[in-house]
Each structure stands twice: as structure tokens, then as C-alpha cells.
Amino acid sequence: MLDIKNLSVSYGAIDAVKGISLHVDDGEIVSLIGANGAGKTTTLHTITGLVPAKSGSIMFNGQDLLKTKANRIVTLGMAHVPEGRHVFTRMSVQENLEMGAYSLKDTSHVAEDLDKVYTYFPRLKERRRQLAGTLSGGEQQMVAMGRAMMSRPNTILMDEPSMGLSPKLVKEIFRIIEKLHDEGITVLLVEQNAKMALSIADRAYVLETGRITMEGKASDLLHDEKVRKAYLGA
């Protein structure tokens, strides 16, 4: 379980996140939606130790993440699929995926885990020797997701997985998020594509200029008048 209480994050004099509280229970998909600059990515970066918090607490399965180094957080069973994908462009697809397993003490399952990733993403198997920098945006997104899966996480944080992708690929990526969820993986999903994010989530939070302004069952928020006007173009 991920439990965030009264989290505030600043960049110098600018308050990016202002006292937010949210929780993600085991086995849930929880979406965090909001406009550009609302503080969604900053929230994920603070959870994974990339940005320091000003105040508040982040507990993950009993561990205080604000007192845990970023490189240790992945060993606790949390993986991060960053915005913009961030693949290693001069490495092959397979080398990128193998990098995801670097934190595992027991590497005896790496070949088996690679096969599993290739089952999810057959296109990556076809291109496994290709340099990741030569792939399309959608394929790079698949590499980033596969790399996260290689660390055998129980929780995956995903930051804007649909960004820059065609509608067809967006559907494919979201289908895979649902498959991961069906396997028991917990997902915290940050997404500007509110309709897709709410359609697969159990619960959701709306973040506006660093504050959570709405929360509830995703199905309720999907039909909420304010949410529809602000994020669904209705």
C-alpha cells in the first residue's frame, strides 16, 4: 500500500505540490488526472525519490520513502515508467530490458521475465537487437514499460504513457496496463488523457495547481459534470 499524507513540494519559491494526501491500496489502479503543470509528475518524482519533499510523509508497505534513497526504492518493489520514456537510445531493446533487472539480487529469472515481456510486447521480440533510439515513440513506450516489469515490481507508477501516441497505440498501451492489473500489480497512473485513465481506474484524484480538488470512484468522476467540462471536452 502507498499512503501519502500532507505532501508539499517546492522548487525554490514555487510551491508545486501543496499538502496533498492520497492512497493506493494493493491491487488497485488509481489515476491522478489534471492539466499540464498541476503537479502530477512532481508527485511521482517525489514518491520515487527524484525530488525532495518540503513536508509530509510517503509510506510504502511500511517503509518511509522520504528517508529512503532513490536507488533503494526500486528494490522495495516499486517501478517508475517516466514521462518521455527515457530509453537508453544507444543500447539494444534487449539490453534496455535487461537494465530493468539490475536491482534484483536473484537474476536466475531474467530469461523467463524477458520471455514474459516479449509475450506482452511481441513487437519488441522482433526488434530485440535493434537500437532503442531507432524505434517509434510507441515502441519506446513499450520498452519503458517492459523495463519496469523486469524489476518484478508489485507497484508501477506510470507517467503519461499515452503522450504522443496514436489513438490505436494508446488503446494497446492501456490494454496492457489492465493486463498488469489483472496479474495483481498495483498501478498509480498519471495521465492527461482523462477519459482513458478514468475508464480503467478503480479510483481517481483530480490535481489542480498543486492541490487535490476532487477524489472518488473513477466511474463517478467519469460522469461528473465538472470533470467532463474541464478534462473530457464535454
pLDDT the model gives residue 234: 52
Domain ranges of the chain: 1-77+154-166+182-234, 85-152
CA dist 44 and 158 (Å) reads 8
CATH number for 1-77+154-166+182-234 (one of 3.30.70.2190, 3.40.50.1950, 1.10.3720.10, 3.40.50.300): it is 3.40.50.300
Residue stretches of the chain with pLDDT short of 50: none
pLDDT tens for each residue of 47-105: 999 999 999 999 999 999 999 998 889 889 999 998 877 899 999 999 999 998 887 77
The radius of gyration computed from the CA coordinates of the chain, to the nearest angstrom, equals 17
CA dist 74 and 65 (Å) reads 11
- The residue type found at 90 is R
DSSP for residue 51: S
User: Treating both helix axes as pointing N-terminal to C-terminal, what angle do 137-149 and 167-182 enclose, rounded to 10 degrees?
Assistant: 10
Give the torsion through C-alpha atoms of 136, 177, 67, 58, to 10 deg: 130
Q: How far is CA 94 from the centre of its chain?
A: 21
Question: For residue 129, how many other CB atoms are within 10 A of its CB?
Answer: 9
Determine the Cα angle at 97 with ends 122 and 83, to 5°.
Answer: 95
